[in-house]
Amino acid sequence: MSLYIERALKGKRTDVKIPRELKKSYKKHLSWHGGGETGFVFEQPVDKKLNGNAEAMRLWFHETSKLVLEMGRQSEK
């Protein structure tokens, strides 16, 4: 089982920088040509640290979501 966050940005986004804190969980860069979007996938396996620890899972989602949303904002500037 893994925790999973995905972000889509308009256009072919080779300019987007993945934050250092997300590099370990960064899995894929997807181009959706039909939709004109580029997708970014972040995945965290539920390991010993997270297994059975709802607060640790919530914290991963919270912190990762903030960084992923900021990634999109930076690319809009």
Say whether pLDDT at 11 is over 70.
yes
Question: Can you give the pTM of this predicted structure?
Answer: 0.78
Q: By percentage, how much of the chain surpasses pLDDT 90?
A: 44
3-class DSSP state for residue 19?
coil
Residues in CB range of 36: below 8 A, 6 or more apart: 10, 11
Among the listed residues 62, 71, 66, the one whose alpha carbon sits nearest the alpha carbon of residue 40: 71
Say whether pLDDT at 2 is over 90.
yes
Residue extents of the structural domains in the chain: 2-76
- The DSSP bridge partners found for residue 21 are none
Residues in CB range of 60: below 8 A, 6 or more apart: 3, 44, 50
Overall residue count recorded for the chain in this entry: 77
pLDDT in tens, 33-60: 567 888 889 999 999 999 999 999 999 9
